[in-house]
Amino acid sequence: MSLKQPDDSGDKPNDEHLEHVDSLESAKGNVEDATDLSGIEDAAASKAAWLISVTVSIGGLLFGYDTGYISSVLVTIGTSLGHTLSSSEQELVTSLTSGGALVGAVGAGLTADRFGRRWPIWGSCILFVLGTVIQTCSYSVAQFAVGRFVVGLGVGGAAMIVPLYIGEIAPAKYRGRMVAFNNMSVTFGQLLASAIGAGFAQVKGEAWRATVGIGAAPALILAGLLFLCPESPRQLVSHDKAEAADAVLQRIYPTSTPEQRYAKIRSIELSLQEATQTMVQESLWVTLKRVFTTPATGRAVLTACVVMAISQLGGFNTLMYYASTLFGIVGFDNPTAVGITVSGTNFVFSIVNLVLVDKFGRRIILTTTVLGMAICMLIASVSFSYIPVNLDTLEVESDNVGWPGILVLVTIICYVACYSSGVATIAWIGTELIPLEVRAVGTMLNTVTCWSTNIIISSTFLSMMKGITPSGAFGFYTGICFTGWVFVMFFFPECKGMPLEAIRDVFSQGFGVRYSKQWQKEHKDEAKNVTVSFGH
């Protein structure tokens, strides 16, 4: 493969120098040239990349704030919507956000390549503010439900686009940490919402409206700061704006040479051709069909989706959505304040994952933490059997719950620690398992798995508590977590540090658990330095 370099006299490559790669096969065949294409990574990255990542991570905070404030609102809303909410109405207004997020994520995914990364984020901000205003001004369940759905559209769009945008802006050596920082923003948003909700819970009247309304502030801040953020280089190159892409790369890598930036643009061109060649020749249906008819591809997508399902069906979001309700059932006098412990633990241990995931790998973290989740849910299930709960009203029938209530609180905190340090982030990292030719469809399936299972959990928790008792509900989550642990033990390969081509080979060997272990032993030194192949 021959690359024509820019003239020494110019700081920017001309469009005529940016010829498209004629043959994808010949590009793949020259590994040495492919490595040279990413030579700009050796240049010092500026603070701009971190500032951009921190800025757009406010989108993660929107996600976290929405899932965090509903917990306190459900126990303080009283008759503000015309009457006291029934269990089914609580499940409805909680799950509608997940339904909106599912629609918003798919919509953002379908429009992002056409309109860029920033416009869908702006759209998400508008939807979030609109939905927040509708909820704040609601005086009926129907109004509040509409607001929850509209907010969900914004949450889903931001949750889909922000990690994608960060991944395209971030230098390769910081990409994992920058994307994980977005997940930290989600947990911080949940903590912030819990703290604000607990504070306003002590105020008489309809202070819950302030808890909801404050959520519009981060969206407005993000919308304003986004004007300072550039479009991603990949998006600019895909729309034939090579000079603009060069300017963005110079901003991110201020010490880079014109030749290095030119090579980076060529590398992006190569990845675009590799990603779109199949899409040009095949319809969406054919690509989707390939996922289910090609064994190796199907196993890769299945693995990613099952881990995502574990992260949702294991019961964590019942704690985020219903923490205050749950601790009220257990018998705590100030359940909104106690609920802060869940959000605080979630935030702290998301930092733990950030430190450990690239050092110890995905598999060992998952096998340890998912088993821990199962054990914690089992202990909580047994503890609930000692707490007298009226199944019709879900109210405790004793003034002194004693040790079972304390044990439930402790085990839930331990459960959240296991969840946040493990599957919470690794479920999103799982898209690294999906082959490039079906990555768009595979990522969409992974996202659909996330929100659809989230809907199931959020819309059934209170009904399960009444129908099969609290012990039965937590016993069900125990079974899900244990099943997830068995799946990880036998079917989840360790792909830390593997280039994409090696990951493809893993699933050609069944689920590749033994193959990946052998690869890790043979490439121990290489695995310490994560290789990113054509990933921009």
Look at 26 and 214; give whichever has higher pLDDT: 214
Average pLDDT over residues 419-431: 85
Q: For residue 389, which phi and psi values (nearest 5 degrees)?
A: -120, 130
In b/e form, how buried is each residue of 345-367, taking b as 16+ CB within 10 angstroms?
A: bbbebbbebbeebbeebbbebbe
* pLDDT over 80 (residue 300): yes
Record the tokens describing residue 519, joined without a space.
Answer: 């690869």
Where along the chain do its domains lie?
Answer: 44-229, 237-281, 282-492
* pLDDT over 60 (residue 2): no
How far is 230 from 146, CA to CA, in rounded Å?
A: 33
From start to end of 376-463, where are the E strands?
389-390, 395-396
- Alpha-carbon 352 to chain mean position: 16
Q: Assess whether the region 44-229 and the region 282-492 belong to the same CATH fold.
A: yes
Average pLDDT over residues 414-423: 92
Average pLDDT over residues 513-530: 70
Q: For residue 17, which phi and psi values (nearest 5 degrees)?
A: -80, -15
Contact 368, 494 (CB under 8 A): no
Instruction: Give the pLDDT score at 161.
Output: 82
Of the candidates 425, 456, 309, the one whose C-alpha atom is nearest the C-alpha of residue 356 is 425
Longest dimension (CA), the chain: 83
Record the tokens describing residue 404, joined without a space.
Answer: 């079972």
Instruction: Give the pLDDT score at 305.
Output: 93
How far is 453 from 23, CA to CA, in rounded Å?
A: 42
How far is 84 from 396, CA to CA, in rounded Å?
A: 18
Residue 331 pLDDT class (50, 70, 90 cuts)? low
With a pLDDT cut of 90, the percent of the chain lying above it is 22
Average pLDDT over residues 78-91: 89
Per the DSSP assignment, residues forming a β-bridge with 390 are 395
Instruction: Give the pLDDT score at 205.
Output: 81
Mean pLDDT of the chain: 79
Look at 309 and 47; give whichever has higher pLDDT: 309
Record the tokens describing residue 415, joined without a space.
Answer: 């459960």
Average pLDDT over residues 74-96: 88
Instruction: Give the pLDDT score at 111.
Output: 74
Instruction: Give the pLDDT score at 113.
Output: 67
**Most confidently modeled range among 161-175, 391-405, 511-525:** 511-525
Model pTM? 0.73
How far is 45 from 254, CA to CA, in rounded Å?
A: 7
Per the DSSP assignment, residues forming a β-bridge with 129 are none
Q: Which fold has domain 44-229?
A: Growth Hormone; Chain: A; (1.20.1250)
Of the candidates 325, 315, 320, 336, the one whose C-alpha atom is nearest the C-alpha of residue 86 is 325
Neighbours of 118 (CB within 10 A): 19
Instruction: Give the pLDDT score at 260.
Output: 80
Record the tokens describing residue 192, joined without a space.
Answer: 């912030």
Helix 316-330 vs helix 403-421: angle between axes, to the nearest 10 degrees?
Answer: 170
Instruction: Give the pLDDT score at 8.
Output: 43
Per-residue pLDDT tens digits for 176-215: 677 777 778 888 998 898 889 888 888 888 889 999 999 9
Per the DSSP assignment, residues forming a β-bridge with 389 are 396
* pLDDT over 50 (residue 493): yes
With a pLDDT cut of 70, the percent of the chain lying above it is 82
**Most confidently modeled range among 135-149, 234-248, 405-419, 443-457:** 135-149
**CA Rg, the chain, in Å?**
24
> One-letter amino acid identity for 96?
L
Contact 94, 458 (CB under 8 A): yes
Using the structure block, give the residue that is written with the tokens 């963005």: 248
Mean pLDDT check: name the lowest of 334-348, 371-385, 475-489.
334-348
Would you list the DSSP string of 153-169?
HHHHHHHHHHHHHHHHH
Of the candidates 298, 297, 304, 296, the one whose C-alpha atom is nearest the C-alpha of residue 423 is 304
Q: Which fold has domain 282-492?
A: Growth Hormone; Chain: A; (1.20.1250)
Per-residue pLDDT tens digits for 357-371: 777 888 999 999 999
Instruction: Give the pLDDT score at 175.
Output: 66
- Alpha-carbon 168 to chain mean position: 16
Instruction: Give the pLDDT score at 133.
Output: 96
Per-residue pLDDT tens digits for 433-464: 877 667 667 777 888 888 889 888 888 888 88
* pLDDT over 90 (residue 94): no
DSSP 8-state class, residue 397:
S
Contact 332, 404 (CB under 8 A): no
3-class state of residue 85 by DSSP: coil
The secondary structure element, H or E, covering residue 21 is none
Integer CA distances (angstroms), 394 to 54, 71, 86, 389, 470, in order = 41, 16, 11, 6, 9
According to DSSP H, which parts of 201-315 are helical?
208-213, 216-225, 233-238, 242-252, 258-281, 284-293, 295-313
Would you list the DSSP string of 398-413?
-S---HHHHHHHHHHH
Residue 271 pLDDT class (50, 70, 90 cuts)? low
Average pLDDT over residues 88-104: 88
